[in-house]
Structure 1
Amino acid sequence: MEGDILEVIKYWLEGEITNFIKVWLITYTSITYCYFASKIIPKGKSRLLAFLPIISLFIYLPFTLHSTHLGGTTTFFITWLTNFKLLMFTYNVGPLADPSITTLFHFVAIACLPIKIIEKNNPIDDSIQKGKKSTLHYAIKVLFMAMFLKVYDYTNLIHPRIIMFIYSIHTYLLLEIILVICASLARGLLNVEVEPQFQEPFLSTSLQDFWGRRWNLMVTRILKPSVYIPVLKSSERFLGRSYSQLLAIFATFAVSAAMHELIFYQMGRLKPNWGITLFFLMHGVCLVLEVGAKKVLGVKIQFPGILGRVFTVAFVMGTGFWLFFPQLVRVKAFERGLGEYAAIGAFFKDIAKALNLSTFQTQ
């Protein structure tokens, strides 16, 4: 019995899974080095030089993976989020510089996981409280994910625009589920409460609301101290506060565009055609115009609730259908992702067969 199961596990661990484990073992070891190095190397250029080999390694490691889910997620986690956290930490700012992080275990978890811990001494504000969802809420979203996977069996019978709409919902659900799993892991390992990463983005009333308060907030919380604030402060003396803010917004979207291009290149190994860059730069320009208009016309000037939501969602999805989701199709993200789901299903079927065969033989 044990021999059959071990053969199945051995088969599954070959190749991609083995590489995935190696990548994350190297990642944990590297972050451990950063933790102890920070104890003896002062903040500033010296610490930056000590961290640069690790930051370079984290750019390379995901390229040893080839699957959509494992490779793309690893690029997002360590090449983007962890690297930016380490860069900020070289000057003792950002989430890794939090004085509440007193152990190696906490340092590694905060460095690797896309989470923002809610401090126990600070009250949870209304937006965070409203963002907390029940287990049933996420169970329903998992059910919708399963339904979409079944729909893909009939793509030849469905209009391409409807398929693109399904892709957009699939992407949102997949991201939220992955981040919720990470948050649950952090709660269990660290015994802390973490902020939600999504605040129902389909209810956004403006682009500022969508990108700043509702969509993938871990990225927002990383880009603000690492890009937005430095650009704002460095340009303020030349441009003034208002224009510096607009420049900082655009710079933030430019960096986000570059990181998304890197993620898509990792997933598809295809030369960029800059559709992703155009998508984020377009949204950066539009958000600059929106914020600028609010400054000129008054902060309270905005579309009425329902009209604002319809316009915002239509704009995000419309530009996504035009520029963003075709890039996912181009790198065959959904096609390869479905193959990976099938491989997982085959894995569990093989285990079930091995267990049934072993039970039959013992009888």
Structure 2
Amino acid sequence: MPSIPRMLNPGNRDHGRDPAGPRLPRVPAARAVIDCGVYVDGVRQEAPNDFRKALEQVRSAERGFIWLGLHEPDEQQMDDVATAFALHPLMVEDAVHAHQRPKLELYDDTVFLVLRTISYVDHDSLEVANDIVETGEIMVLAGRDFVITVRHGDHTHLAGVRQRMEQTPEHLALGPAIVLHAVADRVVDSYLAVVSEMETDVDELEERVFSASSNNLDIDVVYKFKREVLELQRAVYPLTVPMARLSGNKRDLDVSPVRFEKTSLSADGKEVRRHFRDVADHLTTASDLIEEYDERLTTLLNAAATKVSIQQSTDMRKISSWAAIAAVPTAVAGIYGMNFDFMPLTHYKASYPILLILMAITCVLLWRTLRKNHWL
């Protein structure tokens, strides 16, 4: 029986294929590779450019590990990587599709960590800024002899992390677990940098809201910052439990901590957990600052809403006062405009100036009374 062509096999997932048209050329997995290095005792070795051959070199020597960096791989490219490293299909699916919630999962001896990255957007004015922070994602897949970092977004650069670690081989010699720590440390430190830069903006908002001269307050700016703080919370808060597991902190945890010795990610699991405890402390600091900003912005929203309500009440009192003053000449003109013959002062020559003077005096007295009562 003739074999079925691959492009007609419904079980295959062909990259770039349009169901109504021809299949597009397949993009090789090497296009998504940012860097690929082999490390033995913390020192980078000469290795093939192809990650498959580099992995074969590591496993044939039974020493060291491979660190593969990928940027926004598509499904077919990630399938090639998964075949080489024997990755679980669920990890592959999460690594391809971004917008994951920060989490930590264990697949046998492989650790899968999802991190949300945050970048502060410089702006000249709070009113014209569309976004205060931008987000991205980094997925880290760490096994016995490999680390794979998958980046989604334009501000998730890890080149500095790799270079810094290569300068300290004794640190890198701790194995894939220490690379996992380095990436998490870089991301959490970026949280601290972002919340530090946002403090100036929050202080400026407080000045505007509580300033006595700000009559035309744009409350939308406060809502914008509230939205950005919520974005920070979605990135930082879910990471608390994963960091507690990685640091071995059993307090307030319903799940067991990660034992790096059992997963073969590091021979010195105690030292790695010490490093993760430092990251967990930084994460707690960032969480506390974000919670403080959230409370301050909630207070600002309430204060701004109250200030707007008071301003509207003041405006309504002014409008009502002027309407009351205008009602006096309107009433007099309405009465004497009915053209009745028998009315007071109708046939008196000085009636017109008398009525004008009386209306003016009444309006002035009413104006003084309203102003004295702070309605005008």
Q: Indicate whether the TM-score tops 0.5.
A: no
Structure with the higher strand share, 1 or 2: 2
Larger RCO: Structure 1 or Structure 2 (Cα < 8 Å, ≥ 6 residues apart)? 1
TM-score norm. by structure 2 comes to 0.27
TM-score norm. by structure 1 comes to 0.27
Structure with the higher helix share, 1 or 2: 1
Structure (1 or 2) with the larger CA radius of gyration: 2
